[in-house]
Chain A
């Protein structure tokens, strides 16, 4: 929307901004975001409901006589280098990759977000926290994750912790900026002057108003975290075999690129699709939360 249009309808937009129904209405009208959401729900459901029907043993059960089998009724997507069912591994692998992404995003948001909120709320803490975040942010995320994994050892828990910490600066800065923008508003000053306590200001005024920014950023970062988890596993510093994970499956597929190139298709496609879907959803949410930014 254009500048003059914006000004002339400022009160209209403002009223609509805080309305969850209105946001959903705008999101629904965004075709690409809806495509992303529908596909994501489908893939998410497939990866998280599959375990109810496919036992974990079919992921690890080796069948050396039946290596690199082409797709068949028994194995929809064929088998891998150990004769394991590729489809089962893709579904369980997707569950692993996505879970790491979600959990790491939650940790990163919780820790980074709290730091950001503290920094924006207390002037004394601000300098300390932000200088620390500056230092943390000047280490490339993957290198940070590698250093942590190196010190603590490669297992699932440490991988989650490592990539959570590596994304923390991003969350911290975003939340700080969002909260700062609101804390400076006059209605917060008015609430303060009226004797409202910090905690109440935070929960009643600040959080609801920067929720949009936080949700959008979390969605966007989730895809980055999943990419990071897959990267770590690919270079052998993440999820360890035989546990299936899209990155580590690609790492295994790389060994058999000559004899069984088809093994590298599904895990890679899985990562691309989920990342694209999350990006589409994130873009859609951003436009829905702030229609003025829409181009």
Chain B
């Protein structure tokens, strides 16, 4: 098992390097140079050239990339902002918890609603307990998170005044964003759980279980559920990563000072280091979440577990 974990952890390194290189390459196409951005319109050509040199901007592309990555890995140094002149790393550290909180609370909400309801709809297929949630989920899965967020904001913040409309200082501030981001995800999760469950119930081994005389609840809870949950776990990882990105619109809507708003502000102000740092950190976290889920997956699926546990088979 440890072999598997180590193997997976090592495998993530080239992915992270590839991702950072890709993001670095794309963002290096940004028109303009750092010095002109920093110094503004009034600066002389000399001063711009001088500053670009100090920033290492006149070095070849590959060399700049290597320096950038080495600084991050060895000193956790993401450079400094063109606008505020402050280290990016500090801002990242203060914003990361907000992004993580939003995404993880949303995925937890989505799982708590989506998985049980999905199981129920599959078990009660062709009854009202299937059709009503399925239709509801179909519509909710199509909701743009920002529109649902706006409706919630209007109803619970502007009209009823129950929840604050912006900011992230207390837990209460997260209620609306998490519902707005989590409900459409819950709908997706429900649809996936339902089809995974229905697919599992069709398998031969379920018939074997029935042929033994197993009662229906044991067929569902003992034989079907564990098999159906295996693909669901993968989806949780993938969707959590996607949620970190989808949170952009939610962060903007509720003015949450997370990493997404940092990226958007960075783009508006042509502050490339901000955009780069926040994108890399978010992406790195997504990769880590996927990795974590893969490891969990190995623990619940005996087929992978046995392959690496060193025993036979």
Minimal Cβ-Cβ distance residue in A for B12 = A138
CA gap between A141 and B245 in the complex, in Å: 7
A227 within 8 A of B: yes
* Residue contact A254 to B138, C-beta cutoff 8 Å: no
Cβ proximity bits B256-292 to A, threshold 8 Å, 1 near / 0 not? 0000000110111000100100010011001100100
Whole-angstrom distance between the alpha carbons of A136 and B283 in the complex?
11
Given A134, A250, A253, A272, which contacts B142 in the complex, CB threshold below 8 Å? A272
List of B residues within 8 angstroms of A258 by Cβ:
158
Contacts A235-B252, A254-B253: A142 and B246 contacting too (C-beta < 8 A)? yes
Contact (A151, B27) CB under 8 Å given A138-B290, A139-B19, A143-B279: yes
> In the assembly, what is the distance between CA of A235 and CA of B245, in Å?
12
List the B residue with the shortest CB-CB distance to A223.
Answer: B142
Mark out the residues of chain B between 1 and 56 whose CB falls within 8 Å of any chain A CB in the assembled complex: 14-15, 18-19, 22-23, 26-31
Chain A contacts for B241, CB-based, 8 A: 138, 140
- Specify which chain A residues have a CB less than 8 angstroms from the CB of B244 in the assembled complex: 140, 143
Chain B, Cβ-Cβ closest to A274:
B142
| A230 interface residue per 8 A CB criterion | yes
Interface SS of chain B: helix, strand, loop or mixed?
helix
Task: Enumerate A1-34 residues with CB–CB distance to B below 8 Å.
Answer: 2-3
Contact A295:B242 (CB < 8 A) given known A146-B264, A268-B144: no
Q: In the docked arrangement, what's the CA distance between A227 and B185, Å?
A: 14
Residue of A271, A273, A275, A295 with most partner-chain B CB within 10 A? A295
Q: Which of B31, B144, B199, B264 contacts A227 (CB 8 A)?
A: B144
- Asked whether any CB of chain A lies closer than 8 Å to the CB of B195, the reply is yes
Instruction: Look across to chain A and name the residue whose beta carbon is closest to the beta carbon of B268.
Output: A236
Q: Which of A131, A138, A268 has the most CB of B within 10 A?
A: A138
Known interface pairs A141-B242, A268-B151; A135-B19 also in contact (CB < 8 Å): yes
Asked whether any CB of chain B lies closer than 8 Å to the CB of A276, the reply is yes
Q: From residue A56, how far is it (CB to closest CB) to chain B in Å?
A: 25
Q: Size range of the interface on B?
A: 35 or more
A293's nearest neighbour on chain B, judged by CB, is B199
Q: How far is the CB of A119 from chain B (nearest CB, A)?
A: 17
A106 touches B (CB below 8 Å): no
Q: How many residues of A contact B (CB 8 A)?
A: 47
Q: Which residue of A lies closest to B21 (CB)?
A: A135
A279 to B195, CA, bound (A): 15
Can you list, as one digit per residue, whether each of A140-160 has a CB less than 8 Å from chain B (1) or not (0)? 111100111111110000000
Using A136-B22, A279-B138 as known contacts, say yes or no to A147 and B150 having CB atoms under 8 A apart: no
* Assembled-state Cα–Cα distance A254/B252 (Å): 11
Given contacts A139-B283, A142-B248, A295-B195, are A250 and B26 in contact (CB under 8 A)?
Answer: no
The residue that B264 contacts in the complex, of A3, A237, A273, A276, with Cβ under 8 A, is A237
Is there an interface contact between A264 and B147, defined as CB atoms closer than 8 Å?
yes
Q: Indicate if the CB atoms of B283 and A276 lie closer than 8 Å.
A: no
The reply on A257 being an interface residue by CB < 8 A is: yes
Given A140-B242, A237-B264, A268-B144, A254–B19 Cβ distance below 8 Å?
no
Q: What would 18 more interface pairs be, CB under 8 Å, given A147-B23, A151-B27, A295-B199?
A: A135-B19, A138-B287, A139-B283, A140-B241, A140-B282, A143-B283, A146-B275, A150-B263, A150-B267, A151-B26, A151-B29, A234-B144, A234-B252, A236-B268, A257-B158, A264-B150, A268-B144, A279-B138
Give the interface of B toward A (CB within 8 A).
Answer: 14-15, 18-19, 22-23, 26-31, 125, 138-139, 141-147, 150-151, 153-154, 158, 195, 198-199, 202-204, 207, 241-242, 244-246, 248-249, 252-253, 263-264, 266-268, 272, 275, 279, 282-283, 286-287, 290
